[in-house]
Chains A and B, each alone.
Chain A
Amino acid sequence: MKKVVLLCCCLLFSLAGIAQTATVTGTVISDADKSPLIGAIIAVKGSTVTAVTNNNGQFTITIPAQKATLVIRSIGFVTKEIAVVANQKLNIVLSDDVSQLNDVIVVGYSSKKQSELTSAVAVVSSEKLKDVTANNIGTMLQGKVAGLQVVNSSGAPGSAPEIRLRGVSSVNASQSPLVVVDGVIGGNYDPNDVESITVLKDAGATALYGSQANAGVLIVTTKSARSGDTRFEFKATSGFRTADFGKLDVMNSAELYDYQKEFYRDYIVGATDNSYKIDLIKFYGERPLSLLDQDYDWSKESFKAAPVNNFYLSASGKTEKNSYYAGVSYYNEKGTFMNTGFQRVNLRANSTYTFSKKLSVTNNINLSASTGKSYDYMDVYYSFLNMPWDNPYDASGAAVYVDGNSTFKWWSRDKINPIHTVQNSDHPYKGFDLNYDFALNYNITNWLTFTSTNRLSAGFNKGTNYFSPLVAGNYHATGYIDELNTLNYGGISNNLLKFNFQLGDHSISGLAGVAFEGGQTEYSGASGKGLPEGLRVLNVVSNNQLVNGLTDKRYLQSALSQVNYNYKSRYFLSGSFRVDGSSAFPKENRNAVFPSVSGAWLASNEDFMKDNNIVDNLKLRLSYGITGTQDIGSSRYLGLYSLTTQYNSVTGAVPYQLASPNLTWESKHQINAGIDIGLFKRVSLTIDAYRNNTKDLLLQVSQPLSVGFETKWENAGNVINKGIELGINSTNIKTKDFEWNTDFTINFNSNKLYGLTADIVKTGSWSISQIYRNGGDLYEFYMPKWLGVDAQTGAPMWEKLIYNEAGVAVAKEKTFNYSEATIQESGSALPKYQGGFNNSFTYKSFNLRVSTYFNYGNKVFSNNLRFMMNDGHEPYYNQIKLPDDAKVWSGPGDTGATEPSPQNSANSTETSTRYLKDGSYFTIRNIAFSYGLPQSIVQKLNFKAITVGITADNVATFSNFLGQDPQTTITGGSFATPGVSDFKYPNNRQYLFTVNFSF
């Protein structure tokens, strides 16, 4: 504001100084949202005369002659030159500066101009996010940032994707990037309230976050007022979702009927009188033709199209003292699976009050509440596996009750009707979450500022599982209910002194201060059986009452500092230093230091490149730094007995954890070299190469089980991630009415383990193992190799390696004996490269965006096939339609057979590479089409802008993967192994209609 006044004074002076001149008036507006630009500077070329736009974007300028050329500048916009004549009235539209060199970017504890950056940082504006409608930012980011891997591993309502930056660099610590909202670590927000997201990729930027930044940092900045006027925005999105089963195409009644004939082939292994013909008489005896009359499509009927709605209303405005933004949004998603859904309401209010030119205070509050209905894995499982020969409904349309005593024929393997179960059970959850941010900014002198940013947060979540006594199965006649309540609360305080000097061509800025984080989680829950029919609270359970509860605390205190230096805006140097003290380690190892240094040369600012027409931006960057990990949970260094059990109703203490008194930080040493190139003012290219060496991995080192403990927390082993990432933004065509922009990102990453004391084999659900060994990859599958089917006998074959005395494999042979097969490394669940290719076409007010995502070179174990391509081991599970190139063995000499004979298939469904598939895929992630209504209509309706759009998500996926969906979890956990595709809640295709009003 002060600047404006000052400039106005200048203007007055210049007006007074020049007589006999003409004036030009006009309005400057932004191309993007047609809003007036305040404080844009208008200068007369070749003179000192300038003017500044007022709060309505209007200006008046005096020109020295009848003709002149005006130069119009505004930060973040492309500077424009216009020839004018006296008394002309202008309507000037400034377009966003594509090069974004002047954009102010929030990086960690401070902001920098893009041109000043010395590290690998990517920014995604809300503009580029909003084509995808989701309840989380991760889904929106997929394919838009080089090096960012986003996996939508579940389509359950409210589920968030898994995000990895530059691969996986740790074994036991969390691999999700740290999220920082409005300058404070952690925090809750609604995607509609997001202004921009900054991704900090190398240690030059992340080391300032020290021990929490091992997996990179996502900085979320929520919206604030842009202009003086009070502005409203209303967005309504409505549409529906359908389940995407991928290639899990189950058989219908007739197909299954036909397939089961294979079970009746006259073939007894070893017998001499086999005819290898199908014994149709026996078949029709056991599989009556009447079965063909019953054809129920379980998966299709269990997963139905479901509506999605999202409404968002915001208001923002700015006065001299006060700036505010308020947004409210409501998101409602019904699940495609029976009785599932998610809804969330979010309220955000951001305000900054400027008391004086020295002091400003920001208060932000975010309230959110969500509720939803989850599902039981077994219900999804049976919805895929039950047979089309069973009808879940009776004549009156009610779901049939089936149990082990049912006297009617129920073909499916387990006597369970999942529809009946879903109707008599419920898995609701609720939660609310409060964040209050208080920030204070005090300019002590013109070069020194004190800032304090603080957050108090509290959240409460409750999950319930309920089974009515009417349900079949485990809880029949008793019913069951369990509830778990989780209360989180905590606070964060960052107190920093920031300085900024300019000494001739040298400028120095930086910060120093302290930070504290503390948090506590309290769990309490209970369960019981013996529910009266119709009631569903804990108060009415009559037996098997169990209670549980615990608390978990964590504290982190830190000191941090950073210095940035640049010379003539050409040479940049930045260094940072952070000390963290964490409650996760023993006293002696509690503190750790995380330094970084980074530099850049902005060559395009050198004199010799200043007028280069080809290269408008050229910057070379180099950074080195250390980040760490302490996020392994509390008290991992103590020798512990757990007191959570009982024997004969008396407390029991169970050996729980081995002491590890020397446990210390895992540290990731990161080197990054990058180059930013801008060409023809149209194309910007960023290439980064990195080598991240994670040392002293916080590892659960396997112990001989005979010591009574599986593992001991130790610092053991290292993992190196190496990679190259490339990002291109290009404006391919730009004419008055038409524009075509392309974004392309790709990231090649490889990782290697070394320094482990012994191999570690982790075996997850379904006996699927992965091995960690020196020289190997993370998430490396470890299983016998499948060699197909013996043409003579139809028996499955596996590979057996022959080792010499030195333990080196010298030969291989086929074996028909599964237990003889050699267990071997079989590929990793992590991709070799992945990225996105996005195009945007704008013609007048029409815009079309197509976003795609690709992922190559990972293995996915398609565990569903163990059930659904099971060679008759489990004849009462439905099967998938065999792929075109698959053939069941039919007799001796059947060299084309790929699937074993059902009569000779012992162990064929045991874990082997038979079901380990190539997980590469290319997906058309999103197509968004929008149309901005003409201003003439819009203004008649008293709006500033109206945009309508339609979008389609997950349009098509191209993959050789056989199974549900190649997008598979890469997070290990209970009942989840990275890269193992289990019956999951299918991902969704989504079709939406959006209307957006500004007024």
Chain B
Amino acid sequence: MKKYFSAILVCLLIGGNSCKNLDVMPSDAISTETLITTSDGLTNALNGAYALFKDHISFNGVVDNNNMYLRQFYHLSDFASDDIVCGQVTTDPLFYSFSLDHSPSQGNTRYFWYLSYKIITGVNTVIDAVEKSGTQDPVKQQLLGECYFLRAFCHFNLVRLFGKPYSIDPASPGIILRTNLTDPSQKKRSTVAEVYASVIADAEKAAGLMTQPRGVQYASKEAAWALLSRVNLYKEDNQKAIDYANMVINSGRFSLTTSATYPALFANAQTSPETIFCIAFTAVDDYGKFGSIASMIYSDGNSGWGEEYASSSLRNVMSKHPEDVRWSYIVPLKDGSGTVQKKNGIEVYYISKFSFQGGLPNLSSPIMFRLSEMYLNKAEAEAKMSNNSAALDDVDMIRKNRGLTGSLYNRTLPSGYTALDVVLEEKRIEMAFEGHRTYDVYRNKRSLNKAYWGYHLAGLKETDIDLSKTPTGYANLSVSYTSPRIIYFLPIDETLSNPQATQNQ
């Protein structure tokens, strides 16, 4: 008995102590070293970079459905514009884009900044691995080019939101450039001019590398040219803006939608001939009411919050042409008698540019670049180079396809308008809600007139609203390009842990 028992005892002691292999690997993640050595790892990493434009990922310990790169990409710019009106005070930080009560701790800018750099970090890892491998395989070169494109695109979107417009102060602080894996984590902000230079260099490199187009859901040579057209336009390098726009137009890959097909453009972004590059959302990326882009600005009664609308300012500009097919993305909510309903005193004109992919009210594949913009970039650059006829021709090219064949400019400026006025008004209508308006106004050193009823007016109450009058006496009725509030504060997370990053005024 005793012997037998001692044997058990020894076994138990040894059994308990026998060194279990304590290496535990996660089941749904792989180490960075493994990733760059597996065959599909780099493709996956690049895919992941695209996915971050649409995913809700954990930030500050929370997966908040309101946190999505694209949702913030749109509301940080367009909700600050005169195209969208606020119909409801809300605790969602999107409200600060209306009220201009920016703060370094507002959740949406922090997440947008974070995700931008997460995309950049992901592509930097791929760039580093591919370049170290020395491969000349065109498929790998295409991936590499896409990475450079995404880096340029993200840096550019950041500098638009957090740095002053190039045309106003190119020497002012821009953003932190992350172009390698070796820089120290604490780093200074580059100037706006330096950021533009880096963006242009990356985009040009990208254009040269990409020879294997994978569809408009992915970056391509033409997408890089489209970006270069936009960046050079902002930089007021007008000839280059025209040249790159022409390269896209002449590539033959794209054509403008017509007045017949335009109303279906945004619901079918992935197959539209006009799309240069879009972020693909599939049916499983339909986030519903909680966390989609559309739910902010549209509702079928149940699908969304629908608390921000097409502004009266935009509708007034468009009211000259009820036949304009671009009205198709502005959907008034009417009651039984045909009267437009109000929410908190504001007329409800929903925006449907981010709806109806597959018929679903909250699903779309947001278009980052489309052909129309190339004509308008060209037109703006031409206007600035005093080539008014060319500018008006390009504007007419758009108008022809938007149901305005009867109202073309035909190289004649309307009275009281400059060519730039014409181009900017056309662009405002054509590109409305697509994240252009505020930049177009401020970089052209214009002011934004927000003298219309909406909850961007500080302290407004429903009982104060009288739609027959123009509001007076409130703050935020007009925002000058000299206002420090045309851009956002750097996120508090950056300035606390990176003291070299100076804060905006």
- The smallest beta-carbon distance between B186 and chain A, in angstroms, is 6
Contact partners of A907 in chain B: CB under 8 A: 99, 101, 458
- Chain A interface mostly helix, strand, loop or mixed? mixed
| Contact among A404, A648, A656 with B302 in the assembled complex (CB-CB below 8 Å) | A404
Which of B58-66, B379-387, B420-428 contacts its partner?
B58-66
Task: Say whether, besides A708-B118, A910-B101, A493 and B12 are in contact (CB < 8 Å).
Answer: yes
Q: Does B134 contact A (CB under 8 A)?
A: no
| A473 adjacent to B50 (CB under 8 Å) | no
Per-position 1/0 for B1-44, Cβ under 8 A of A: 00001000100110111011011111111111101000011011
| B29 adjacent to A706 (CB under 8 Å) | no
| B35 adjacent to A706 (CB under 8 Å) | no
A879–B51 CA distance with the chains assembled, in angstroms: 42
Q: Does A551 contact B (CB under 8 A)?
A: yes
Q: Does B121 contact A (CB under 8 A)?
A: yes
Task: Say whether, besides A474-B288, A652-B50, A557 and B12 are in contact (CB < 8 Å).
Answer: no
| A644 adjacent to B22 (CB under 8 Å) | no
A760–B494 CA distance with the chains assembled, in angstroms: 11
- The smallest beta-carbon distance between B281 and chain A, in angstroms, is 9
Q: Does A815 contact B (CB under 8 A)?
A: no
Q: Does B501 contact A (CB under 8 A)?
A: yes
Task: Say whether, besides A268-B473, A474-B302, A710 and B114 are in contact (CB < 8 Å).
Answer: yes
Per-position 1/0 for A527-551, Cβ under 8 A of B: 0000000000000000111100011
Contact partners of A10 in chain B: CB under 8 A: none
Q: Does B144 contact A (CB under 8 A)?
A: no
A874–B105 CA distance with the chains assembled, in angstroms: 23
- The smallest beta-carbon distance between A794 and chain B, in angstroms, is 10
Q: Does B492 contact A (CB under 8 A)?
A: yes
Task: Say whether, besides A514-B17, A653-B44, A761-B496, A648 and B282 are in contact (CB < 8 Å).
Answer: yes
Q: Does B93 contact A (CB under 8 A)?
A: yes
Task: Say whether, besides A403-B302, A641-B30, A874-B89, A708 and B178 are in contact (CB < 8 Å).
Answer: yes
| Contact among B48, B88, B458, B494 with A653 in the assembled complex (CB-CB below 8 Å) | B48
Q: Does A447 contact B (CB under 8 A)?
A: no
| B280 adjacent to A648 (CB under 8 Å) | yes
Query: Which has the most chain A C-beta neighbours within 10 Å: B22, B63, B64?
Result: B22
| Contact among B19, B333, B464, B496 with A557 in the assembled complex (CB-CB below 8 Å) | B19
Q: Does A759 contact B (CB under 8 A)?
A: yes
Name A968-990 residues within 8 Å CB distance of B. Answer: 972-975
A906–B473 CA distance with the chains assembled, in angstroms: 14
- The smallest beta-carbon distance between A602 and chain B, in angstroms, is 35
Q: Does B445 contact A (CB under 8 A)?
A: no
Contact partners of B289 in chain A: CB under 8 A: 473-474
- The smallest beta-carbon distance between A49 and chain B, in angstroms, is 40
Q: Does B122 contact A (CB under 8 A)?
A: yes
Contact partners of B120 in chain A: CB under 8 A: 708
Contact partners of B475 in chain A: CB under 8 A: 906
| Contact among B13, B41, B284, B493 with A705 in the assembled complex (CB-CB below 8 Å) | B493
Contact partners of B91 in chain A: CB under 8 A: 766-767, 866
- The smallest beta-carbon distance between B393 and chain A, in angstroms, is 37
Name A748-804 residues within 8 Å CB distance of B. Answer: 758-767, 769
| A268 adjacent to B101 (CB under 8 Å) | no
| B303 adjacent to A474 (CB under 8 Å) | yes
Q: Does B300 contact A (CB under 8 A)?
A: yes
| B282 adjacent to A555 (CB under 8 Å) | no
Q: Does A905 contact B (CB under 8 A)?
A: yes
| Contact among A406, A515, A644, A761 with B28 in the assembled complex (CB-CB below 8 Å) | A644
Q: Does B55 contact A (CB under 8 A)?
A: yes
Contact partners of B125 in chain A: CB under 8 A: 655
Contact partners of B492 in chain A: CB under 8 A: 761, 763
CB nearest neighbor in B for A635: B26
Task: Say whether, besides A474-B303, A559-B17, A643 and B107 are in contact (CB < 8 Å).
Answer: no
| B102 adjacent to A819 (CB under 8 Å) | yes
Task: Say whether, besides A442-B5, A641-B32, A643-B30, A765 and B20 are in contact (CB < 8 Å).
Answer: no
- The smallest beta-carbon distance between A469 and chain B, in angstroms, is 11
Contact partners of B461 in chain A: CB under 8 A: 263, 872, 875, 902-903
| A761 adjacent to B27 (CB under 8 Å) | no
A403–B16 CA distance with the chains assembled, in angstroms: 62
Q: Does B319 contact A (CB under 8 A)?
A: no
| Contact among B24, B45, B299 with A634 in the assembled complex (CB-CB below 8 Å) | B24
| B30 adjacent to A640 (CB under 8 Å) | yes
Name B363-403 residues within 8 Å CB distance of A. Answer: none
Q: Does A397 contact B (CB under 8 A)?
A: no
| B187 adjacent to A906 (CB under 8 Å) | no
Q: Does A892 contact B (CB under 8 A)?
A: no
A652–B52 CA distance with the chains assembled, in angstroms: 9
Task: Say whether, besides A903-B459, A910-B101, A514 and B494 are in contact (CB < 8 Å).
Answer: no
CB nearest neighbor in B for A279: B463
Interface size on A, as a range, is: 35 or more
A282–B344 CA distance with the chains assembled, in angstroms: 16
Contact partners of B194 in chain A: CB under 8 A: none
Contact partners of B118 in chain A: CB under 8 A: 654-655, 708-709
Task: Say whether, besides A546-B284, A643-B44, A758 and B22 are in contact (CB < 8 Å).
Answer: no
- The smallest beta-carbon distance between A361 and chain B, in angstroms, is 12
Contact partners of B119 in chain A: CB under 8 A: 708
Q: Does A553 contact B (CB under 8 A)?
A: yes
| A583 adjacent to B121 (CB under 8 Å) | no
Q: Does B185 contact A (CB under 8 A)?
A: yes
Contact partners of B27 in chain A: CB under 8 A: 550-552
Contact partners of B429 in chain A: CB under 8 A: none
CB nearest neighbor in A for B158: A706
A407–B114 CA distance with the chains assembled, in angstroms: 43
Q: Does B434 contact A (CB under 8 A)?
A: no
Contact partners of B9 in chain A: CB under 8 A: 442, 450, 495
Task: Say whether, besides A659-B32, A764-B62, A875-B461, A544 and B286 are in contact (CB < 8 Å).
Answer: yes
Contact partners of A581 in chain B: CB under 8 A: 19, 22
| B57 adjacent to A654 (CB under 8 Å) | yes
| B122 adjacent to A708 (CB under 8 Å) | yes
Q: Does B47 contact A (CB under 8 A)?
A: yes
| B497 adjacent to A640 (CB under 8 Å) | no
| B12 adjacent to A495 (CB under 8 Å) | yes
| A404 adjacent to B300 (CB under 8 Å) | yes
A907–B301 CA distance with the chains assembled, in angstroms: 29
Contact partners of A559 in chain B: CB under 8 A: 17
Q: Does B166 contact A (CB under 8 A)?
A: no
- The smallest beta-carbon distance between A860 and chain B, in angstroms, is 18
| B105 adjacent to A819 (CB under 8 Å) | no
Q: Does B176 contact A (CB under 8 A)?
A: yes
| B113 adjacent to A706 (CB under 8 Å) | yes
Q: Does A270 contact B (CB under 8 A)?
A: yes
- The smallest beta-carbon distance between B366 and chain A, in angstroms, is 14
Q: Does A405 contact B (CB under 8 A)?
A: yes
Q: Does B491 contact A (CB under 8 A)?
A: yes
Q: Does B462 contact A (CB under 8 A)?
A: yes
| B105 adjacent to A709 (CB under 8 Å) | no
Q: Does B409 contact A (CB under 8 A)?
A: no
CB nearest neighbor in A for B114: A705
- The smallest beta-carbon distance between B432 and chain A, in angstroms, is 23
**Footprint of A on B, CB under 8 Å?**
5, 9, 12-13, 15-17, 19-20, 22-33, 35, 40-41, 43-45, 47-52, 54-55, 57, 59-64, 88-89, 91, 93, 99, 101-103, 105-107, 110, 113-114, 117-122, 125, 175-176, 178, 185-187, 217-218, 280, 282-284, 286, 288-290, 299-303, 306, 333, 335-336, 344, 458-459, 461-464, 473-475, 491-494, 496-499, 501
Given A644-B29, A704-B497, A903-B461, output 12 extra A-B contacts at Cβ < 8 Å: A270-B473, A474-B288, A543-B283, A648-B50, A654-B55, A655-B122, A706-B117, A706-B175, A707-B185, A708-B120, A710-B114, A823-B105
Q: Can you list 11 A-B contacts (CB < 8 A)?
A: A407-B335, A652-B49, A653-B35, A654-B57, A654-B118, A702-B493, A706-B494, A706-B498, A710-B59, A710-B493, A902-B461
10 interchain residue pairs of minimum CB distance: A708-B121, A704-B498, A652-B48, A405-B301, A404-B301, A906-B459, A652-B47, A476-B302, A653-B44, A652-B51
